[in-house]
Structure 1
Amino acid sequence: MTTYSGPARLILVDGTPVAGMASLSTNQRGGLNGWGGTFRPDQASAELREAGEGLQVELPYEQFGTVAVTGTRKLLATQMLMSLVGQGPAPF
């Protein structure tokens, strides 16, 4: 299993970058190759709550991966945690 945890940007469909922290890992269970994890934006917004597919996650050193949001939940009054599933090769 390969993992990445640290700063990242989520690029919305309209190209808007959202800074935050990502915790991502690959999973290779039962012959299934994939990756996913969570993203905690620095600031929550209505656009993020409505985000779905076709997003990009950008890691340091210009590494990009395509992701879809599978769920969101509130952490505190002003914070949210987004569950992501990767599509294609992992960028880490």
Structure 2
Amino acid sequence: MTTYSGPATLILADGARVTGMASLGTNNRGNLNGWSGTFRPNEVSTDIRNATEGLQLELPYDQIGEVAVTGVRKLLATQVLMSLVGRGPAPF
């Protein structure tokens, strides 16, 4: 299993960029096309809460992967944790 944990930027369908922290991992040994994880945005907005499709996750060094949101869970009054599933090759 390959993993990544650190800073990331979620790019919304309209091009808006949201910074935060990601924790990602590949699902199958040696298969880098199956990956998923979580993203915790630094700031929460209605656009973030409603984001589901047409998203990209950018990691440091310009590594980008397509993602879809499978769930959003409230952590604190001002924070959410987004569950993500990757589409295509893992960017880490």
Query: TM-score surpassing 0.5?
Result: yes
The answer to whether residue 13 in structure 2 is matched with residue 13 in structure 1 is yes
Unpaired stretches in structure 2, ≥5 consecutive residues: none
Percent of aligned pairs sharing the same letter = 73
Structure 1 outlier segments of 4+, above 3 Å? none
Alignment of 1:13-92 (within 5 A): 13-28=13-28, 33-92=33-92
Q: Matched residue pairs, number?
A: 91
Residues of 2 paired with 1:28 and 1:6: CA distance? 21
Unmatched segments (≥5 aa) in structure 1: none
Residue by residue, what CA displacement relative to the aligned partner does 1:2-52 show, whole Å, maximum 9, x if unpaired?
Answer: 0000000000000000000000000117x8x50010000001110011001
Normalising to structure 1: TM-score of the pair? 0.95
CA distance in 1, matches of 2:52, 2:8: 18
Query: Pairwise CA RMSD of aligned residues?
Result: 1.5
Structure-2-length-normalised TM-score: 0.95
More helix by share: 2
